[in-house]
Amino acid sequence: MKMHNPPHPGEVLKSLCLEPLALTITDAAKALGVSRKTLSGIVNGRAGISPEMAIRLSLAFDTSAESWLNQQLQHDLWQAEKMRAALRVKRLSAA
């Protein structure tokens, strides 16, 4: 079942992981082994979570990589569904 307008996983990361631990983006980026720019892009919804980042987050916050990737997938699918009517696709079927 699709979630109604799921949040970007960066919002979840910020509200459930960074803020409760009083972590800055700079400190969290260092701990994750990524640049501040990379993490800032995710937290601010300008970039998505890659499989590698999902693993980094799972290791740092004791979560599953699958949960991060699923959040990204749900968000991306919701955004794509909004464009469904504009897609020009011809239905294919067996004769």
Rg of the Cα atoms in the chain: 16
The whole-angstrom separation of Cα 42 and Cα 40 is 5
pLDDT of 64: 98
Would you write out the chain's pLDDT as a tens digit for each of its 95 residues? 566 899 999 999 999 999 999 999 999 999 999 999 999 999 999 999 999 999 999 999 999 999 999 999 999 999 999 999 899 999 999 87
pLDDT of 4: 84
Question: In the chain, what is the greatest distance between 2 CA atoms, to the nearest angstrom?
Answer: 61
- Which position has the token pair 């569904």? 81
For 9-77, the fitting CATH number among 3.40.50.450, 1.10.260.40, 3.40.190.10, 3.40.50.1100 is 1.10.260.40
- Which position has the token pair 């501040």? 36
Q: What are the sequence ranges of the domains in the chain? A: 9-77
| CA count, 13 A, side-chain hemisphere, 1 | 2
Helix and strand element counts for the chain (H, E): 5, 0
